[in-house]
Amino acid sequence: MKVTLEKATDLIKKGHTVAIPTETVYGLAADAFNVNAVKKIFEQKGRPSENPLIVHISDFDQLDLLASEIPETVKKLADQFWPGPLSIVLKKKDSVPDIVTGGLDTVAIRMPDHPLTLSLIKKTVPLTAPSANKSGRPSPTNIRHIEEDFGPELPVLDGDSSKIGLESTVVDLSGEKITVLRPGFVDARMIEDVLCQKVWVADQSDESTQKKSPGTRFTHYKPRADVQWLVEPILKITDSNHYYLFHRQRQQSSQKNVHSYDEDYPSLARDLYDHFRTADHLSCSTIFIEPFESEISHPIIPALKDRIEKAISS
Q: Are 97 and 35 in contact (CB under 8 A)?
A: yes
Nearer CB in complex with ligand AMP: 215/259 = 215
DSSP reduced 3-state for 193: helix
Q: Which helix (H) or strand (E) holds 121?
A: helix 115-123
How many residues touch Mg ion under the rule CB under 5 A: the total is 1
Q: Which of 51, 58, 131, 141 binds Mg ion (CB under 5 A)?
A: 131
Q: Are 45 and 186 in contact (CB under 8 A)?
A: no
Q: Does 216 bind ligand AMP (CB under 6 A)?
A: yes
Q: Which of 22, 26, 31, 52 binds ligand AMP (CB under 6 A)?
A: 52
Least Å distance, CB 173 to Mg ion, is 22
Q: Which residues are CB-neighbours of 239 under 8 A, at least 6 positions away?
A: none
Nearer CB in complex with Mg ion: 212/242 = 212
Q: Does 141 bind ligand AMP (CB under 6 A)?
A: no
Q: Does 215 bind ligand AMP (CB under 6 A)?
A: yes
Nearer CB in complex with Mg ion: 182/212 = 182
Q: Which of 130, 165, 184, 223 binds ligand AMP (CB under 6 A)?
A: 130
| Region of 283 on the Ramachandran plot (φ > 0 left; ψ -120 to 50 alpha; else beta) | left
Nearer CB in complex with Mg ion: 19/199 = 19
Rounded CA-CA distance 114/84 in Å is 9
Q: Does 20 bind ligand AMP (CB under 6 A)?
A: no
- Start-to-end CA span in the chain (Å): 31
Contact partner at residue 107 from Mg ion, ligand AMP, none, CB < 5 to 8 Å by partner kind: ligand AMP
What is the 8-class DSSP label of residue 181? E
Q: Which residue is nearest to ligand AMP, using beta carbons? A: 215
Contact partner at residue 21 from Mg ion, ligand AMP, none, CB < 5 to 8 Å by partner kind: none
* Greatest alpha-carbon span in the chain: 60
> What count of other Cβ atoms lies within 10 Å of the Cβ of residue 277?
22
Q: Does 56 bind ligand AMP (CB under 6 A)?
A: no
Residue 192 identity (one-letter amino acid): E
Q: Does 51 bind ligand AMP (CB under 6 A)?
A: yes
Binding residues among 240-259 for Mg ion as defined by CB under 5 A: none
Q: Does 135 bind ligand AMP (CB under 6 A)?
A: no
- Roughly what angle, to the nearest 10 degrees, separates helices 301-313 and 265-281? 20
> What count of other Cβ atoms lies within 10 Å of the Cβ of residue 8?
25
The residues that bridge with 245 in the sheet, in sequence order, are: 259, 289
Query: Which residues here bind ligand AMP, judged by CB under 6 A?
Result: 51-54, 89, 101, 104, 106-108, 130-131, 167, 170, 181-182, 212-216
Query: Which residues here bind Mg ion, judged by CB under 5 A?
Result: 131
